[in-house]
Amino acid sequence: MSNKKIVLITGANRGIGFETAKQLGQQNNTIIIGSRKFSDAEDAVAKLKEQGIDAHGIQLDITKESDRTAAAEIIGSTFGKLDILINNAGVAPKDMLIKSVNVETTAEEFEWVFQSNFFSVVHLTNTLLPLLKKSSAGRIVNLSSSVGSLTLQAMENSPLAAFRTLSYNASKTSLNMFTILLAEELKDFGIKVNSAHPGWVKTDMGSADAQLEITDGAKTSVELALIGQDGPSGKFYHLGETVSW
């Protein structure tokens, strides 16, 4: 019997998402690339297929209900189930690495960041839950960040003091709460839900000043996607180590 898993990764046409797709595909899993533009998904799929990876592309702007519904319909009709959902897609204010904005954050920034990083992730996950429940070992990985850790942010001389952008950080704190509550809700279905902190990675979002290469940034998502029956759920991880909530 094949151990091949059906994997959907959002925002997977580049960066950490694409690297996650590549690493999971290299382990003989079927990869579904979700991207805002179908053409970008197709380009990513072509690159993966060149490496012998079983890959498929769908248009999936997670902020659009029509795209979320269509994605569930396509995955259901093509594969009949979904084994792994990696909620990788997300946004950050363009200037978050050069300023710390708190009480002055605009309503537009809050709405844009929370719509992409929290509300749409919740909506997409709920839309796909019927397919995940058809898996014998469903896995959900939410791409979070250590900047969403209340514990680390509240520390005296916090190591994250330079990374205090309210809209982005609060969206990741909210996502972590979703992880905790969803893990509890789904425990009787054998579905494990965890948050992943990829690290500060050299991507368009992370900048060239970041500490980690993209190959390392994908490792936590891959590990959590493939955890066994006795693995964790409702936890926050970075490269095998727990991160404080």
Residues in a beta bridge with 57: 33
What's the pLDDT at 3? 76
Three-state SS sequence of 49-94 = HHCCCCEEEEECCCCCHHHHHHHHHHHHHHHCCCCEEEECCCCCCC
Q: Is the pLDDT of residue 143 over 80?
A: yes
Tens digit of pLDDT for each residue in 167-196? 999 999 999 999 999 999 999 999 999 999
What's the pLDDT at 96? 65
Confidence of residue 2 (pLDDT cuts 50, 70, 90): low
pTM of the model: 0.93
Tens digit of pLDDT for each residue in 115-129? 999 999 999 999 999
Confidence of residue 1 (pLDDT cuts 50, 70, 90): very low
What's the pLDDT at 203? 55
What's the pLDDT at 41? 98
H-helix segments, the chain: 15-25, 38-50, 65-79, 107-114, 120-132, 150-154, 166-186, 214-217, 219-225
What's the pLDDT at 216? 87
Known active-site residue 233? no
Computed over every residue of the chain, the mean pLDDT equals 91
10 sits in which H/E element: strand 6-10
Alpha carbon of 209 to those of 34, 136, 206, 212, 214: distances in Å?
A: 27, 41, 8, 9, 13
DSSP 206: T
Catalytic, out of 5, 22, 172, 235: 172
**Among 48-52, 89-93, 157-161, 230-234, the least confident range:** 157-161
Q: Which CATH superfamily is domain 6-242 in?
A: NAD(P)-binding Rossmann-like Domain (3.40.50.720)
Q: Are 184 and 151 in contact (CB under 8 A)?
A: no
Q: What is the mean pLDDT of residues 86-92?
A: 95
Catalytic, out of 120, 135, 144, 145: 145
Q: Angle between the 38-50 and 15-25 helix axes, to the nearest 10 degrees? A: 40
Tens digit of pLDDT for each residue in 193-229? 999 999 765 455 545 555 668 788 899 999 999 999 9
Known active-site residue 145? yes
Q: What is the mean pLDDT of residues 58-64?
A: 98
Tens digit of pLDDT for each residue in 219-245? 999 999 999 999 999 999 999 999 999
What's the pLDDT at 164? 83
Of all residues in the chain, the percent with pLDDT exceeding 90 is 80
What's the pLDDT at 202? 47
Of all residues in the chain, the percent with pLDDT exceeding 70 is 91
DSSP 152: H
